[in-house]
Amino acid sequence: SAWRLRDSTAALAAWQILRPAEAQPAAEAATKVAVKSGGQTLLAYGNYVLRFEGYLPEEETVHQLVLSLPRFENASLPALAGFLPKEARALNSERYITGPVSLEKFAPQLPPSVVAFQFDTEGIVGRFTDRDGSVDLVVFSYPNHQIAQKQIAAFQALPGLTAARQGPLIGVVTKAPNPDAAQRVLSQVQYEATVTLNSNAAPPPQQNVGDLILAIVKLIGILIGLATVAGLLFAGIRVATGGGFGNIRPREEAIMSLSLEDEGPKQP
């Protein structure tokens, strides 16, 4: 079976809903987002969710299969899933929130107006096992720190909930046995920004005055040599053609003249 979704985020959300509660990670599958349960393997690949019954194709076979699927897009998975704490998290309890409908289903305690989906807000729900009992945590991701800072006050004003901000993330505990358990789980939400530093470029080499003068002298020598060769070549051509040099006149050619005068008829 195959389901085509809008993008990789929607595919991840659908995969989380479709996977069986007792499913185990399938390390041998073609993607990291894969589980197996009995003879069934369920995996998310790009904007598709694939389910194989009774067998698991080889990795290369799956790659070739998805390339033949219509409108396949292999965008990266949302980074938000990586910010949900892993310690003491219940197996397969994660659910992705992409809008008011999924919010109502997985975190009905939170009103959509407070979550503010107009900012392209996304969230993920997880259940955790604390020493005092079960804790439900939702982590929302906002486009930047400023928007999250404005929204945190609205979350903290909701009765019976515990909320805190970490950078552009807001964590909200919607269910906990006591405030201490809520704080223990909430404190695990950590945001680490990825900063790329450009290495300093090496400074351009400094010009050496001595090398510059030497280069100029070499250039002048080359130009003088070219001028000398051109002059000798020109002189040779002049001599070969009898043109002479400068003001030295060439040898004058002898001219033979005939005196032919028109004499009239002689008188007898």
Domain ranges of the chain: 1-77, 79-191
The model's pTM is 0.68
The residues facing 42 across adjacent strands are 35, 51
Which comes out higher in pLDDT, residue 231 or 195? 231
pLDDT for res 76: 86
pLDDT category at 11 given cuts 50, 70, 90 is very high
Residue 246, CB-side half-sphere exposure with 13 Å CA sphere: 2
pLDDT for res 208: 61
Residue 245 near residue 235 (C-beta atoms within 8 A): yes
Q: What is the overall mean pLDDT for the chain?
A: 84
The architecture (CATH level 2) of 79-191 comes to 3-Layer(aba) Sandwich (3.40)
Dig out the tokens for 193 from the structure: 């920004």
pLDDT above 90 covers a percentage of the chain that reads 55
pLDDT for res 200: 44
Counts for the chain of helices (H) and strands (E), in that order: 7, 10
Residue 49 near residue 41 (C-beta atoms within 8 A): no
pLDDT for res 197: 45
pLDDT for res 196: 39
Dig out the tokens for 223 from the structure: 């130009």
pLDDT for res 54: 84
Residue 110 reports pLDDT greater than 70 = yes
Residue 135 near residue 128 (C-beta atoms within 8 A): yes
Residue 202 reports pLDDT greater than 50 = no
In the numeric block, the tokens 């060439």 are attached to 250
Residue 199 reports pLDDT greater than 70 = no
Q: How far apart are CA 158 and CA 111, in angstroms?
A: 9
Residue 20 near residue 68 (C-beta atoms within 8 A): no
Q: How far apart are CA 36 and CA 90, in angstroms?
A: 17
Among 178-192, 210-224, 253-267, which stretch is predicted with the lowest mean pLDDT?
Answer: 253-267
Dig out the tokens for 250 from the structure: 């060439």
**Torsion angle, alpha carbons of 259, 260, 261, 264, to 10:** 140
pLDDT category at 204 given cuts 50, 70, 90 is very low
**Which backbone phi and psi does 64 adopt, to 5 degrees?**
-65, -35
pLDDT category at 246 given cuts 50, 70, 90 is low
Using the 8-state DSSP alphabet, how is residue 89 labeled?
Answer: B
Residue 262 reports pLDDT greater than 60 = no
pLDDT category at 129 given cuts 50, 70, 90 is very high
pLDDT for res 268: 46
Identify the CA nearest to 157 among candidates 99, 110, 106. 110
CB-count burial class (<10 Å; 0-12, 13-18, 19+) for 119: middle
pLDDT category at 170 given cuts 50, 70, 90 is very high
Dig out the tokens for 2 from the structure: 């195959």
Among 17-31, 70-84, 194-208, 244-258, which stretch is predicted with the lowest mean pLDDT?
Answer: 194-208
